[in-house]
Amino acid sequence: MIRVGIMGATGYVGAELVRILLQHPKVELKILASQNHIRCKYDSIFENFKKICEIKCVGNNLESMAKEADVIFLALPHGISSILITESILEKVKIIDLSSDFRLKSKEVYKKWYKTEHHNRDLLNKAVYGLCELKRESIKKSTLIANPGCYSTCTILCLLPLLAEGIIKENSIIIDAKSGITGAGRTLNLEFLFGECNESIKAYKITSHRHIPEIEQQLSELSGTDIIITFSPHLIPVNRGILTTCYGKLKNNFDYEEIKEIYENYYFYEYFIRLTKKGVFPETKFVKGSNYCDIGFTIEKRTGRIIIVGVIDNLIKGAAGQAVQNMNIMFDLDENMGLKTIPIFPT
């Protein structure tokens, strides 16, 4: 059994980690850490865990947790993990960090976009970007995984085959992305209250969203050239789900079947990637509560553009589910172990 600890266990992502890991056949959930709920039983914080999880929360002490666990998930705000994680910690325990602290390879780029110092430059190159379908072989050998952002996961999976094959113009990529409220985390914030969000859709952080450099870094690596994207995120009045619509100019006059074959070649054996039929486009309600990413596309002959639509559950494939998928790879387990939950419909 893999002994698991979770730091930040009482946020939305932490709760999803607990839910998934309690049902994982190879996991012993040992430690739940939450600085705001020390000594509280977990089912007293979340009623949905009544009679299911009575573990008492402890304070955030990574050194202590490392002595009792084989892997620790850090579901913390940005700026904390880079202080906590050290080489000596990684000699004792594997870390899957769900914050942004180790996603970017440049300390300077991190500071520019996150407006705070990064405290561990040496580990930036040691960390592996944990997009499982892209970095599987590197994940297997790593002790420090930077779990990708939710927008980034959906966007990169939509564009990966096209950029890897060099069939879209690298300077033409535009991404229109929409996320449910839980993407903002479990915090009290005026702009995320029901009365502020319900019956409204709004764009936010246009040109300044923190997932932009993460997406550009991975797409540039894929294509072998520097890529700059236009990325427009929107907040929609649903609890969970991300939908990204990606636009790019095709380099040649490809037809639907040729593009379909490219996607199938990349994703046919990927358990969690589902390609929709021609003329059918993904919807968030069909991935809710699951680790699936659904992708569909069409070609607009009139403009020479391809339009790709992708959806994920931001808390699962966009966070906790992908983190468990990374754990499975690191410990040489079946990649879908504990993650075969069928999407919930209707909700």
Longest CA–CA separation in the chain, Å: 63
Structure-block tokens of residue 104? 């970017």
Dihedral over Cα of 234, 236, 239, 240: its sign: negative
Tell the residue number behind the tokens 């046919």, with chain if given: 268
Sequence-ordered strand ranges (E) for 165-238: 174-179, 202-203, 230-235
Measure the CA angle with vertex 77, ends 74 and 80; round to 5°. Answer: 70
- If phi > 0 it is left, if psi is from -120 to 50 it is alpha, else beta; for residue 8 that is left
Mapped onto helix, strand or coil, the DSSP state of residue 181 is helix
Q: Quick check: is 150 catalytic?
A: yes
Measure the CA angle with vertex 150, ends 287 and 127; round to 5°. Answer: 130
DSSP code per residue over 232-274: EEEE-SSSS-EEEEEEEEBSS---HHHHHHHHHHHHTT-TTEE
Q: Tell me the one-letter amino acid at 314.
A: N
Backbone phi, psi, residue 128, to 5°: -105, 130
Helix (H) or strand (E) holding 134, with range, is: helix 132-140
Nearest C-alpha neighbor of 224 from the set 170, 278, 266: 170
- One of 53, 57, 132, 150 is an active-site residue; which one? 150
> Catalytic residue positions?
150
